[in-house]
């Protein structure tokens, strides 16, 4: 394999007793939109700060085109960044904020003017040059921050939850802008968020962070269809987990047995395991089908309906397995069962073998 | 990252160096007089050739020093009580009052703090000459009260602003009379403000020089006046001994104030 | 609840402040007004006291000394206080609290005790002169007291806390992420200091500096003790006119000028900078 464009090589950061990131390893292609997704405290922001040079790693290296950047101070890294908090310089106008990176690079006046104009056009804020930041909305401020981060054509742009302070509608609007700007400029973007929808909407690839480690890297559909761990399955999309144990393992597939002896067969198994180990069955609710008869190949379970809630486009059933585990099942509006299902009905949930996953429990 | 101490590089040492020098500059004179007060050189040679307690003996043997200290203590105590009492009434009016012009009244109460003391001193001196209050205890107390009151008002109204009057209402609903509610509920709740105001007022009166110089007579003078008149004659080490005792008092009061603040945050 | 209780219980509240209002009227407002009145009535009605003050070279020197010393003290105080406040805002808590305690100690130590210490330290045979001579920097002791050098050193010592504390408050409120942004934008430490940190701290520097300047203008004790009679400042002159020369007209006129300048500068302060709560 050729040298990757940006390589994060075994980054580890320890604050006193706390390990913030532990051996983070990741390669990013030029022009790629890579998102770090994870809960707060998972190490995604720490990794970004190390890239920006705000913190030094305890171990590991970061290279761009094979050259380490760690010994370069922040102001010489030529990296752009948009922060979670509003970080426009409050004493400078919008135009001067965007011009700031060019002024400290001692660029000529006509060049500065032309670039500021172009950058503000890119974020659709032409004509706002003389406005003061305090007189702008949060969304506008973040767009100015984006212009300021891009005006000097940095090859890499870091974004640290830039939209978390905005309301949902505005957030979606700016997400769309960010996608467009990514396509227009071709800049490599590293984007940190804890919002899975935002990650799926924006990214080429997503790295899922948990407890200082990367759990899985992949495109949205890959992560959704093939989560490598329980954590990823839980974090991306809705899913139901049913705890049991491995009844038998053959290659990549396993049969699971539950508390009352019910078994399901031929479930794709993630990680290695042997018969008798604790494991769990993961199902996506929208890929579960409700039927009066059990399905073929053991890809089904009997359930008892406990409650129904009509939610417009679907009816959500609260159901219980014979051994007492709770489960929710969606019936799309117009499903033949939706109209005449009742509390206490005994039915079967069925799925295609590829839609279920088995995870060995650590 | 100029606001991240560990990312300052060489600048970190520059800033730390300036801080260290400034701390030394602030601390040196205080440590210096403490050392001199125990040195046995009348001419204030440093380091002193030997150590002695004779300046303290001289200080305590002189009835004028003792008398001045007692006068200061008496005046400061009276000023403290009056300043807290008046400050509390003013604060209740400023914070709880419903009349117009409260902002103006607040500014009015703070002006004696803002004006140069020399103006107040000269003006009061003229007035007291006519009223015959110069060189009297009452004259001292009035003069010191004028400059101590603003600090009392600031501290007590600050404490009162953070206290929710609804709690007082609750006490009244429980059957307390309005004044009973103030005494049993509000006063204890703002006690830290009252204590701070008391300490500030005492210290301001105790340390006050300019007004005191104008109010003093040969028969009645405060400790700062005694230090002042002695200083104008010569730099005797007795002043170092007196100053050291004043520093000790300051440290004690600072500790008390810190303990009060700690008790408040708990 | 408060709707039913409030009118009965709280009244207007103005009555509570009455004793203090009367006290201030009788012993502050009226005496100051009378003093100012004497400036235009004694020895005879007219503005001649002010004409003398503005016209004579002796008084011109007093005004020059006053404004010059206040200006230098303010400048030096700002130059020292800014790095100190900056460091205090970001250094490890343990060290910051030690330095903070020293600042409070020096601020609350008796003014005369502090001035006495400087009189001894700065005198001809004092520690400073002897140290400088021992180090071979000077051959003859420097004249450091009874002149404006002594006054300036003594006043800087007294004013430093009044500059550091408000500046510390201003710098603590600046978001460190703004400086991180400046660094990533390519600003070196020097550029970030002059283009971002200093402009953001400027309101605090201006308002603290103004406060120190105003306090220095009217200061009495330190100039009187460290300055000597040849280098008089305004407050000292007022005292001298009243106490030694018993010239109430001139004393009142000088006091009026000091009052106007002081109130004028405070008005600037209130107009352009938010009023800040006292830091004590």
Give the predicted TM-score (pTM) of the model. Answer: 0.87
Give the pLDDT score at A308: 86
For residue B125, how many other CB atoms are within 10 A of its CB?
Answer: 23
| Domain edge (last residue) among A232, A265, A286 | A232
Share of residues in chain C with pLDDT > 90 (%): 69
* Residue A156 resides in a domain: yes
Chain B partners of C275 at a C-beta cutoff of 8 Å? Answer: none
A201 contacts A177 by C-beta, under 8 angstroms? no
Give the pLDDT score at A26: 95
Q: Name subunits touching A (3+ CB pairs < 8 A).
A: B, C
State which residues of chain A have pLDDT below 70.
1-2, 297, 362
What are the φ/ψ torsions at residue B38 (nearest 5 degrees)?
-100, 0
Give the pLDDT score at B265: 64
Cα–Cα distances in angstroms (integers) from residue A12 to residues A49, A229, B80, B90, in the given order: 12, 22, 60, 60
d(CA A13, CA A19): 6
Question: Sign (positive/negative) of CA torsion B14, B15, B20, B24?
Answer: positive
In chain A, the residue whose alpha carbon lies closest to the alpha carbon of C177 is A87
For residue B52, the distance in angstroms to the closest alpha carbon of chain C comes to 19
Give the pLDDT score at A117: 96
| Domain edge (last residue) among A232, A253, A273 | A232
End-to-end CA distance of chain A: 33
Per-residue DSSP letter, A75: G
* Residue A279 resides in a domain: yes
C5 contacts B169 by C-beta, under 8 angstroms? yes
Chain B partners of C278 at a C-beta cutoff of 8 Å? Answer: 151, 154
Q: Higher pLDDT residue, A254 or B214? A: B214
Give the pLDDT score at A264: 84
Number of domains in chain A: 2
| pLDDT per position as a tens digit, B188-211 | 889 889 998 999 899 999 999 999
Domain co-membership, A194 together with A214: yes
d(CA B134, CA B214): 8
Give the pLDDT score at B43: 81
Chain position carrying tokens 């107040």 = B120
> Rounded mean pLDDT of C6-30?
80
d(CA B74, CA B80): 10
> Rounded mean pLDDT of C30-48?
91
* Residue A95 resides in a domain: yes
Chain A partners of C176 at a C-beta cutoff of 8 Å? Answer: none
Write the CATH number for A149: 3.40.50.300
Q: Using pLDDT thresholds of 50, 70 and 90, give the confidence band for residue C11.
A: low
Q: Using pLDDT thresholds of 50, 70 and 90, give the confidence band for residue B56.
A: very high
Chain position carrying tokens 């022009």 = A31
Q: Using pLDDT thresholds of 50, 70 and 90, give the confidence band for residue C1.
A: very low
**Residue A220 sits in which domain range?**
6-232
Q: Could you tell me the CATH superfamily of domain B62-265?
A: MetI-like (1.10.3720.10)
Task: Name the token pair of A83.
Answer: 């922060």
Per-residue DSSP letter, C194: I
Give the pLDDT score at B255: 87
Q: Using pLDDT thresholds of 50, 70 and 90, give the confidence band for residue C2.
A: very low
| pLDDT per position as a tens digit, B66-92 | 999 999 999 999 999 999 999 999 999
Domain co-membership, A306 together with A196: no
- Three-state secondary structure of B194-251: HHHHHHHHHHHHHHCCHHHHHHCECCECCHHHHHHHHHHHCCCHHHHHHHHHHHHHHH
Q: Is any Cβ of chain A less than 8 angstroms from the Cβ of C263?
A: no
Chain A partners of B2 at a C-beta cutoff of 8 Å? Answer: none
What are the φ/ψ torsions at residue B49 (nearest 5 degrees)?
-65, -30
Is C181 in Cβ contact with A74 (below 8 Å)? no
* Helix residue spans in chain C (DSSP H): 2-10, 14-24, 30-41, 48-55, 57-90, 93-108, 111-122, 127-134, 148-172, 176-184, 189-192, 198-217, 221-227, 234-243, 248-272
B107 contacts B114 by C-beta, under 8 angstroms? no
Domain co-membership, A112 together with A186: yes
Give the pLDDT score at A316: 85
Q: Name subunits touching C (3+ CB pairs < 8 A).
A: A, B
C14 contacts B91 by C-beta, under 8 angstroms? no
Domain co-membership, A182 together with A312: no
Q: Using pLDDT thresholds of 50, 70 and 90, give the confidence band for residue B41.
A: confident
* Residue A1 resides in a domain: no
| Domain edge (last residue) among A232, A247, A267 | A232
C174 contacts C39 by C-beta, under 8 angstroms? no
Q: Is any Cβ of chain A less than 8 angstroms from the Cβ of B3?
A: no
Chain position carrying tokens 């920006």 = A52
Domain co-membership, A306 together with A206: no
d(CA A35, CA A196): 10
A62 contacts A141 by C-beta, under 8 angstroms? no
In chain B, the residue whose alpha carbon lies closest to the alpha carbon of A74 is B1
Write the CATH number for A346: 2.40.50.140
Q: Which residue ranges make up each domain of chain B?
A: 5-37, 62-265
Is C195 in Cβ contact with A53 (below 8 Å)? no
Q: Which residue ranges make up each domain of chain C?
A: 46-271
By C-alpha distance, which of B248, C179, B255 is closest to A89? C179
* C277 pLDDT higher than 50: no
* Paired sense of beta strands A263-270 and A278-283, if any: unpaired
Mean pLDDT of chain C: 89
Share of residues in chain C with pLDDT > 70 (%): 93
| pLDDT per position as a tens digit, C41-85 | 988 888 889 998 888 888 999 999 999 999 999 999 999 999 999
| pLDDT per position as a tens digit, C117-128 | 999 999 988 889
Task: Name the token pair of A234.
Answer: 């839980």
* C278 pLDDT higher than 70: no
Give the pLDDT score at A311: 87
Is C200 in Cβ contact with A100 (below 8 Å)? no
Per-residue DSSP letter, C55: H
| pLDDT per position as a tens digit, A333-360 | 888 877 788 888 888 888 887 788 888 8
DSSP track, chain B = -TT-GGG-THHHHHHHHHHHHHHHHHHHHHHHHHHHHTB--TT--SS-SSB-SHHHHHHHH-HHHHHHHHHHHHHHHHHHHHHHHHHHHHHHHHHH---S-HHHHHHHHHHHHHS-HHHHHHHHHHHHHHHT-TTSHHHHHHHHHHHHHHHHHHHHHHHHHTS-HHHHHHHHHTT--HHHHIIIIIHHHTHHHHHHHHHHHHHHHHH--HHHHHH-BTTB--HHHHHHHHHHH---HHHHHHHHHHHHHHHHHHHHHHHHHHHHH-
Chain C partners of A75 at a C-beta cutoff of 8 Å? Answer: 183-189, 191-192
| pLDDT per position as a tens digit, B109-156 | 999 988 999 999 999 999 999 999 999 999 999 999 999 999 999 999
CATH of region C46-271, choose from 1.10.3720.10, 1.20.120.350, 3.30.1280.10, 3.20.20.70:
1.10.3720.10
Domain co-membership, A150 together with A29: yes
d(CA A227, CA C201): 51
């Amino acid at each position: 394999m050729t040298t990757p464009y940006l390589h994060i090589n075994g980054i580890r950061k320890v604050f006193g007793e706390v390990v913030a990131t532990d051996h983070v390893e990741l390669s990013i292609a030029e022009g790629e939109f890579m998102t770090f997704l994870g809960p707060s405290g998972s190490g995604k922001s720490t990794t970004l700060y190390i890239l920006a040079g705000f913190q030094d790693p305890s171990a590991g290296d970061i290279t761009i085109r094979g050259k380490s950047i760690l010994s370069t101070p922040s102001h010489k890294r030529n990296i752009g960044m948009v922060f979670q908090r509003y970080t426009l310089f409050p004493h400078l106008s919008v135009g001067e904020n965007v011009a700031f990176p060019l002024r400290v690079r001692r660029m000529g006046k006509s060049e500065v003017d032309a670039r500021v104009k172009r950058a503000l056009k890119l974020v659709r804020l032409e004509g706002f040059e003389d406005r003061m930041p305090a007189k702008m909305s949060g969304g506008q401020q973040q767009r100015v921050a984006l212009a300021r981060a891009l005006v000097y054509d940095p090859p890499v742009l870091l974004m640290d939850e830039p939209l978390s302070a905005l309301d949902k509608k505005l957030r979606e609007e700016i997400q769309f802008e960010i996608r467009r700007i990514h396509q227009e400029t071709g800049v490599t973007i590293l984007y940190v968020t804890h919002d899975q929808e935002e990650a799926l909407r924006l990214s080429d690839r997503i790295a899922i962070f948990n407890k200082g480690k990367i759990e899985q890297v992949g495109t949205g559909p890959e992560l959704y269809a093939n989560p490598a761990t329980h954590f990823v399955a839980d974090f991306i999309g809705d899913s139901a987990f049913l705890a049991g144990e491995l009844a038998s393992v053959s290659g990549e597939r396993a049969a699971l047995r539950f508390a009352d002896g019910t078994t399901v067969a031929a479930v794709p198994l993630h990680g290695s395991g042997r018969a008798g180990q604790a494991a769990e069955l993961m199902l996506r609710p929208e890929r579960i089908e409700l039927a009066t008869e059990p399905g073929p190949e053991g890809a089904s379970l009997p359930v008892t309906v406990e409650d129904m809630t009509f939610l417009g486009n679907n009816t959500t059933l609260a159901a219980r397995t014979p051994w007492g585990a709770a489960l929710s099942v969606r019936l799309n509006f117009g499903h033949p069962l939706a109209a005449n299902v009742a509390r206490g009905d005994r039915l079967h949930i069925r799925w295609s073998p590829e839609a279920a996953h088995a995870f060995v429990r650590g | 990252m100029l606001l991240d101490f560990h990312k300052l590089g060489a600048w970190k040492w520059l800033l730390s160096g300036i801080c260290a020098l400034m701390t030394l500059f602030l601390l040196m004179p205080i440590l210096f007089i403490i050392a001199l007060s125990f040195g046995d050189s009348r001419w204030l040679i440093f380091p002193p050739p030997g150590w002695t307690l004779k300046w303290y003996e001289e200080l305590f043997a002189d009835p004028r020093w003792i008398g001045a200290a007692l006068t200061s203590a008496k005046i400061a105590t009276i000023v403290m009580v009056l300043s807290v009492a008046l400050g509390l009434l003013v604060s209740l009016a400023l914070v709880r009052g419903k009349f117009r012009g409260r902002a103006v009244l607040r500014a009015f109460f703070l002006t004696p703090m803002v004006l140069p003391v020399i103006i107040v001193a000269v003006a009061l001196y003229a007035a007291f000459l006519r009223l015959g209050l110069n060189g009297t205890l009452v004259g001292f107390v009035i003069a010191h009260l004028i400059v101590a009151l603003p600090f009392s008002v600031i501290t007590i109204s600050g404490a009162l602003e953070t206290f929710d009057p609804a709690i007082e209402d609750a006490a009244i609903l429980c059957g307390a009379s309005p004044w009973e509610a103030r005494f049993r509920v509000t006063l204890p709740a703002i006690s830290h403000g009252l204590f701070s105001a008391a300490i500030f007022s005492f210290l301001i009166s105790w340390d006050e020089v300019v007004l005191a110089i104008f109010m003093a007579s040969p028969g009645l003078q405060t400790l700062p006046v005694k230090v002042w008149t002695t200083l104008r004659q010569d730099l005797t080490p007795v002043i170092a001994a007196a100053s050291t005792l004043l520093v000790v008092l300051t440290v004690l009061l600072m500790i008390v104030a810190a303990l009060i603040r700690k008790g408040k945050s708990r | 609840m408060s709707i039913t209780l409030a009118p009965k219980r709280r009244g207007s509240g103005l009555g509570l402040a009455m004793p203090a209002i009367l006290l201030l009227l009788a012993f502050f407002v009226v005496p100051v007004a009378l003093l100012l009145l004497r400036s235009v009535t004694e020895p005879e009605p007219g503005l001649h006291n002010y004409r003398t003050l503005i016209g004579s070279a002796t008084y011109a020197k007093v005004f020059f000394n006053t404004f010059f010393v206040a200006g230098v003290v303010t400048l030096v105080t700002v130059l020292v206080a800014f790095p100190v406040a900056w460091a205090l805002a970001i250094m490890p808590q343990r060290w910051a609290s030690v330095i903070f305690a020293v600042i409070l100690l020096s601020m609350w130590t008796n003014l005369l005790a502090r001035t006495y210490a400087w009189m001894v330290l700065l005198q001809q045979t004092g520690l400073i002169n002897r140290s400088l001579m021992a180090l071979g920097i000077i051959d003859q002791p420097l004249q450091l007291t009874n002149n404006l050098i002594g006054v300036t050193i003594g006043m800087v010592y007294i004013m430093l806390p009044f500059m550091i504390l408000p500046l510390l408050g201003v710098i603590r409120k600046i978001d460190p992420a703004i400086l991180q942004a400046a660094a990533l934008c390519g600003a070196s430490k020097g550029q970030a200091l002059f283009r971002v940190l200093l402009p953001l701290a400027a309101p605090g520097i201006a308002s603290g500096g103004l406060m120190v300047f105003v306090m220095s203008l009217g200061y009495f004790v330190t100039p009187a003790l460290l300055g000597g009679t040849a280098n008089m400042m305004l407050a000292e002159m007022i005292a001298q006119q009243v106490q030694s020369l018993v010239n109430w007209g001139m004393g009142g006129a000088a006091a009026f000028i000091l009052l106007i300048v002081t109130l004028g500068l405070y008005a600037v302060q209130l107009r352009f900078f938010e009023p800040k709560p006292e830091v004590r």
